[in-house]
Structure 1
């Protein structure tokens, strides 16, 4: 009985190892080349830079107005 169990366990290990073996490799087909999205991202980056510049200018104007208000209040 022990020999029978040993043979069954060995068979299970052999079947498991066989099932895990890699399948024969088939050559991969090349994927279609995607069109570059550079123009869209360049325009987006340019728009982002413009918005950032506008925000800086608005912040500077606000700061200048605050300084002028303090100066006129001090007189």
Structure 2
């Protein structure tokens, strides 16, 4: 009887040890799962950061294009302004030439 009690006690000890081993394995699996989750979240965050960076780059490119467009518009405005000024100057020169011609005609008529 004492021997059977000892055998049952040894069996209970072995069962407790197996249960502790199973619990350690479950905890190890939970830790591996948490680590995989952290890695996946890190990868997702890396992708999100990459997407944000590409968006920032696109925004900078749009701003640069907009600035270039504004600069082209300003250059065209300057060019048109110069053309208008040149045209007005040519007109003044023609008017002045016509006035001088009229004066010469009148002087010839007086002669």
Where does 1:8-19 land on structure 2 (aligned, <5 Å)? none
Compute the displacement of 1:43 (Å): 0.6
Match of 1:53 in 2: 54
Compute the displacement of 1:45 (Å): 0.5
Moved over 4 A (4+): none
Cα RMSD, aligned residues only: 1.5
Report the TM-score when normalising by structure 2: 0.38
Where does 1:1-75 land on structure 2 (aligned, <5 Å)? 33=28, 34=31, 35-36=34-35, 37-75=38-76
Give, in whole Å, the separation in 1 of the partners of 2:42 and 2:58: 24
Q: How many residues align?
A: 45
Give, in whole Å, the separation in 2 of the partners of 1:69 and 1:53: 24
Task: Decide which structure has greater helix share.
Answer: 2
Tell me the alpha carbon deviations over residues 40-60 of structure 1, each in whole angstroms, 9 at most, x when there is no partner: 101110000000000000000
- Residue ranges of structure 2 left out of the alignment (5+ in a row): 1-23, 77-111
* Structure number with bigger Rg: 2
Compute the displacement of 1:62 (Å): 0.2
Match of 2:82 in 1: none
Tell me the alpha carbon deviations over residues 55-75 of structure 1, each in whole angstroms, 9 at most, x when there is no partner: 000000000000110011111
